[in-house]
Chain A
């Protein structure tokens, strides 16, 4: 996939397979989406992203912010008339914040074991030894 070779915004689109999967998850089993309709849907999605981005950008600029934050997107949804999206979106923001916190607090297994690398190696040897002797005992049984 030559993702890196695109030039200009016409090349950018949404992955068809992903869109198709979502369609399949939503439509009732007795209906199908024609390929043309799917492509039309993709165009609509891209349009949606663009107007949402533009509106969010305008809002950020009004607040003299250089970075578009999720709060700006929430306001944009309000302006564009998608108020019912706001609650689910706020949840996503919350989950994201939570997962960020979790990431910072996560300590590696190595650190949390409380032992140095040498000690860990020694421990590993001991465990191998134990396993070996168990193995030898086992093979002698008739």
Chain B
């Protein structure tokens, strides 16, 4: 499901964020624009996954636990494990509907770097 959003991130802010890390030096003019686009795609993906999790629990409100579950279910979002760690764990899915996606299969053993 490809979605496009009209809202754009302020490019200057992104550049500031990037350069808040002292290791990061100069960036070409196009670079923050490109990062902004990547961020947009990332957000869409994370939001959609979180919404899917909310649906799985029959909730109308997308809670941090849903976001956490989305992160746990998606390889790409591995780098977010620490960020979401502080949020409550997703409640076990006790809705009596059809198969739950990935609750059992999705949990990966923690890999030490």
Contacts and interface: CB of A to CB of B under 8 A. Distances in A.
B6 A69 contact: no
Nearest to A36: B64
Interface string B42-81: 1110111011001100001111101100010001110110
A96 to B, nearest CB: 5
Contact of A45 (B39, B54, B71, B84): B39
Contacts of B63: 34, 36-37
Contacts of A51: 79
Contact of A22 (B28, B29, B43): B43
B7 interface: yes
Contacts of A12: 13, 16-17, 20
Given A31-B54, A50-B17, A66-B26, A26 B35 contact: no
Most buried by A among B39, B40, B48: B39
A30 interface: yes
B30 interface: yes
Interface in A1-58: 8-9, 12, 14-15, 18-19, 21-23, 25-28, 30-34, 36-37, 40-41, 43-54, 56-57
Nearest to B25: A66
Nearest to A21: B7
Contacts of A73: 31, 34-35, 38
B107 interface: no
A33 B63 CA distance: 7
A25 B105 CA distance: 31
A81 B80 contact: no
B84 A26 contact: no
A47 B75 CA distance: 15
Given A37-B66, A44-B80, A96-B33, A54 B27 contact: no
6 contacts: A19-B43, A36-B64, A41-B47, A45-B39, A45-B42, A52-B38
